[in-house]
Structure 1
């Protein structure tokens, strides 16, 4: 990717000389919208493990938080018995490959079609929530994120499916994501057909009362496909949403911004197609593309807040481009982590105490 030029004619690389996680990026006059993302990739970190009951083809759809000195990751397992959820934890990325993956079907959550988890701590109830897809958007709860057998039986968010996702208006929904502000909680989803959907309920009503399901983004099917994830940037009024798209070179993520969760989403990258992570901006990429993933969160609550002053890390699913299969469930997905390099639209919003602003 070519570096953009500042008004004085110097490259952004020079403008950000000495940049690092501890620098007050607010001292730069470069606008976030003029920046793009660059990443470096780890090797494959989380891979299928032997299961006496089935063949596991891939691990995918990660949701991850860092709390009490450990990473806690929830994943989809794709196997000969179907789709299920698993949990793993580790204290460093280097220890991730050896960390045991525990199936969640032995918990009260039980067996059955489970996929695409999202984990967060709902502070008003002092309770962990695991959101995932079954035939409907489902959730389970726990008081101990480190106990994979503690998750409750599934409950539905909606008593009936909204008309907007049923024929003839729609063709279903998937990849559910919850984020809250100080008054409402919103449930975002995609439909594999170009739409980003949003439902809402009151913060005090959560997890009940979701309503007003609307399409907040509509583009070509391949340009807004699935796997959305939405965050608040700390110490700002900016939200970002990431949505997976499809190109001839593989899957990739695009990024938008808004000043509120019920507002309009606008592109938040100067790269073509407001790209967030693609094969073109990731060094040492081992995968055909960048597919379903999540930013690593150290703030674990329902606000989904990320710190722009810390280097971004994005846990993603990838697949070996040399392996071709004729069944989607058999795609050999593995998980790796991307680490952001240099300035980007998110890091440009870093506001440290005492830093100058422009």
Structure 2
């Protein structure tokens, strides 16, 4: 019954969108069909205990944190790709497989893509190539900027040895980009889009025809200026003609998430939940199940409906895997030694307003 009701509402949404010129406003009839959070920008989350912490340190290696998760559900398992901060090696990517979120003994292996710096992964299955892609940032001191977006491919998601060596997305550093970080790819039926931030309140986009992916990127351009920082991720809202961008922001030493909407991936982004006192995800709108364990909600990913390049999420029930830390744990530490852990935020079920 729920599926039939939801489908009917979506049909009515599309019809109303056409009547109102393709864009639905808060005053149009179809606005009543949205999940309530996407009308009001009021999101509420429940967070349980941490799911994953950094490995235990050894006499030779110190592990400070596990962070920057990218996750897909595939063959009845959660597959996570995460940054691990430590010393003597500062940045590397760890791969984890969990049966469920209560799995206390996941399979954990470090990828061997490169011996150097690489982190902030994004994983997805690219249907046209029938391959898994891992997008990440690595470093090449001969380029400007030295930090560069790169990719590796694999025939099998769980083949740790099967990832190809790093290949850069751009042949050279694009002009006009002084800094860039946290690279994210999403595709529609015609083009692939690369989004990133530059740590200065700017959100950027580059694009390429789907047939040319992962090469052929356009000159990046700024598509949003706001009080934002890093870790910008973009999703398609399943069943709605809308895209959602979630972007990390700063409030003193704390981190939280803002959200923006667009009608198209090459369209204009407008604020949805973009204020410090009304965030997408932050201390103000989280209830903890059990002992509260973090005040910062940082670089995370929404749980997707599928595994592919479309990056679809269910707008009726969002879930977000994030990195969190308490103010006390953060106090007095340099950024690289902050003990981030991974937690899951589950959106409280919204009230759907039916048409009378």
**TM-score category, normalised to shorter length:** 0.7 to 0.9
Higher relative contact order (CA 8 A, sep 6+): 1
| TM value normalised by structure 2 | 0.83
Residue 50 of structure 1 corresponds to: 56
The match for 2:94 among 86, 92, 108 is 86
Q: Which runs of 5+ in 1 are unaligned?
A: 1-19, 167-171, 350-355
CA-CA distance at 1:320 after TM superposition: 2.7
Residue 42 of structure 2 corresponds to: 36
| TM value normalised by structure 1 | 0.83
The match for 2:229 among 213, 225, 232 is 225
Residue 308 of structure 2 corresponds to: 301
Q: 1:145 to 1:88 in 2, by over 3 A?
A: same
Question: Once superposed, what is the RMSD of the aligned Cα atoms?
Answer: 2.4
Residue 326 of structure 2 corresponds to: 320
| 8 A contact 2:33–2:355 mirrored in 1 | no
Instruction: Please give the residue correspondences for 1:59-208 in structure 2 after superposition, counting only pairs within 5 Å.
Output: 59-80=66-87, 81-95=89-103, 97-105=104-112, 109-135=113-139, 136-166=148-178, 172-208=179-215
CA-CA distance at 1:268 after TM superposition: 1.9
| 8 A contact 2:99–2:106 mirrored in 1 | no
Residue-by-residue CA offset, 1:233-258 (whole Å, 9 max, x unaligned): 11221000000001137110000000
Q: 1:273 to 1:240 in 2, by over 3 A?
A: farther
Residue-by-residue CA offset, 1:123-155 (whole Å, 9 max, x unaligned): 000000000011210111111111222111000
Moved more, 76-85 or 316-325: 316-325
Residue 256 of structure 1 corresponds to: 260
1:33 and 1:148 map into 2 onto residues whose CA distance is 43
| 8 A contact 1:67–1:298 mirrored in 2 | no
Q: Which runs of 5+ in 2 are unaligned?
A: 11-30, 140-147
1:91 and 1:21 map into 2 onto residues whose CA distance is 27
CA-CA distance at 1:35 after TM superposition: 4.3
Question: How many aligned positions are there?
Answer: 317
